[in-house]
Structure 1
Amino acid sequence: MLLETVCGLAGSDDLIGRNASHLRQAILDRDTPYLFEHLVRSFSLQGVSDRAAWTYMENRDQPGWQDLHRATARPPACPKLRSYWTYHGCGYRKGNRTCAEPETLSKCSVPRHALRNGRLNQTTYSLFLFIRDVMGGDLVAWIDRSLNEASSGTVKHRTYRMQRALTEPLRNVYGVSDKLLNMTLADILLAAPVSKPLWLETGFSMIAIDTLVHNFLKRTGLTRRLGPEHTYGSACYSENGCADIIGRIARQIDARQFNPDYPRHFPRFVQHAIWRFCAQSELNVCNGNNIDDEFRCRNAYCALFRHCERVSLRGYLEAE
């Protein structure tokens, strides 16, 4: 099986709890400030390479929970900062120093943080206000409550309901995509202690679709065979989209063969293996740097070559 080969080549054998001791302790301690700061860092991994994003963050102080708590403790200069619900439409732009309330900009705390762009400043405040006002300031309790409610009822679609119980509300945080939500929540959920089985069960199935994974499924022919053709974006998470395709294939792959501590059905592991197989910083096999998207892949040394349909992303299928 094509994806089983990918898992053997690129699957991580320490995906559960990888570098997660601090996260696990934060979950046990219900340490919302630490978890908030972890989310902010993860949400910054957009728009540029991960390396560029991490380098920027390492060279500048990043806003913490207490920074935003102090900034919003008193009645704010900007009326949009009064609550999560009033914050909609902030519109801050770092380069132009503009926003939706320009008369209060000089006194506003949003621009004071040296983030990479204004969208990230907006995301940081939107997330803080969401946790404070919607979650009641307790991220762990909110996840516990959401998963408990979603897990009740029929067994059918139970895991899907639990995923949606977390991603649907958080999708309202400004600037957060499905990919970022699934990637970041999976890291947190898989770091949970065994005393939180619903966290682990949900984390096992959190699939993050980026352009590498989307294009891999198209190049190999899996999209054409198992789901409708679609462009990268929200359709990747719709019925028979990329996430659904990986979830269905993952049922046929026993992840325990790669690590006996893994669950048998581990869609997150399969998706992560695809990403590692493609990513330039990992195995660097199946990506636009190595394949001309106008033509079928010509890498005869690829382990998948004989089983891959080698669909051209933009051109036409060449004759054999």
Structure 2
Amino acid sequence: MTYSLFFFIRDVTDGNLVGWIDRSLARASVGTAQNRAYRMRHALIEPLRNIYGVSDKVLNMTLADVLLAALASKPLWRETGSGMIAIDTLVHNFLHRTGITRRLGGEHTYGGSCYSVGGCADIVRRIARRIDARQFNPNYPQHFPRFVQHAIWRYSAQSELNVCNGNNIDDGLRCQNGNCALFRRCDRSPLRD
């Protein structure tokens, strides 16, 4: 993976990863507003997929952190980073258990399908459109899919809120946690039959 990253930086970015990101985002941002966010994410993710051993999850997670930390003078970086979503089993399983994937017609198994049209990442983006993230922090963008994905992850992760995960819910049964804030609105679907 290290060699592959080295060759990518040397051969694709001509030794200037920051400049390559700037150029890629600038080119992708031109055109209609429709699909602009997709074009910018795709302009970075697609070429980086050629780095050996790097998954969509790792690319989205890493790039989101890097791009969101950019200076205010790089608004395209921040805009793109705010839409990068890392889908792990916790987020995927949350969307399944709650019935969100079924209700939105996006049922699929965990893996590459999470990033395909109608998969988990698209579902999180749809949810994020309904949430004004500025209510949590006035410095956040209004539409902030990465924030929504991270909130779902925190709700589930054992090291965070530790609510919706396999440690607390038998994967073959419906959730019985009546103390969960989502209990009455959740489908409580088992992960396996």
TM-score by length of 2: 0.99
Contact 1:180 1:208 in 2 (8 A): yes
Letter in 2 for 1:155: A
Q: In the alignment, which residue of structure 1 is the partner of 2:91?
A: 213
Q: How far 1:132 moved relative to its partner?
A: 1.1
Q: Mapping of 1:129-278 within 5 angstroms?
A: 129-278=7-156
Output the amino acid matched with 1:303: A
Which residue identity lines up with residue 18 of structure 2 in the other structure?
Answer: V
1:138-188 C-alpha deviation (Å, 9 max, x unpaired): 110000000001011111000100000000000010000000000000000
Distance in structure 1 (CA, Å) of the matches to 2:9 and 2:93: 34
For residues 12-66 of structure 1, the C-alpha deviation after alignment (integer angstroms, 9 at most, x for no partner) is xxxxxxxxxxxxxxxxxxxxxxxxxxxxxxxxxxxxxxxxxxxxxxxxxxxxxxx
Q: Secondary structure at the match of 2:22?
A: helix
Q: Partners of 1:248 and 1:156 in 2: how far apart? A: 15
Confirm or deny: 8 A CA contact 2:68 2:78 kept in the other structure. yes
CA-CA distance at 1:297 after TM superposition: 0.5
Amino acid at match of 1:186: A
Q: Does 1:281 align with 2:163?
A: no
Aligned ranges 1:305-316 → 2 under 5 Å: 305-315=183-193
What is the Cα deviation at residue 280 of structure 1?
A: 0.7
1:228 maps to a residue whose letter is: G
Dislocated runs of 4+, deviation >4 Å: none
Structure 1 residue 261 displacement after superposition: 0.6
Larger Rg computed on CA atoms: 1
In the alignment, structure 1 residue 128 sits paired with structure 2 residue 6: yes
Cα RMSD (Å) = 0.7
Q: 1:266, CA displacement in angstroms?
A: 0.3
Check conservation: 1:150, 1:165, Cα contact below 8 A: yes
Measured against aligned partners, the alpha-carbon deviations of 1:218-252 in whole angstroms (never above 9, x if no partner) come to 00000000133101111111111100011011011
Give unpaired runs (5+ residues) of structure 1.
Answer: 1-122, 316-320
TM alignment of 1:23-42, pairs within 5 A: none
- Highest relative contact order (Cα 8 Å, sep 6+), 1 or 2? 1
User: Structure 2 matches for 1:60-79, cutoff 5 A?
Assistant: none
Contact 1:227 1:245 in 2 (8 A): no
1:230 partner amino acid? H
Identity %: 75
Name the CA distance, whole Å, in 2 between partners of 1:187 and 1:129. Answer: 22
Q: Could you tell me whether the CA contact under 8 Å between 2:106 and 2:120 is conserved in 1? A: no
Per-residue deviation, 1:292: 0.3
The total of aligned residue pairs comes to 193
Please give the secondary structure, in 2, of the residue aligned with 1:306.
helix
Does the 8 Å CA contact 2:45/2:59 hold for their aligned counterparts? Answer: yes
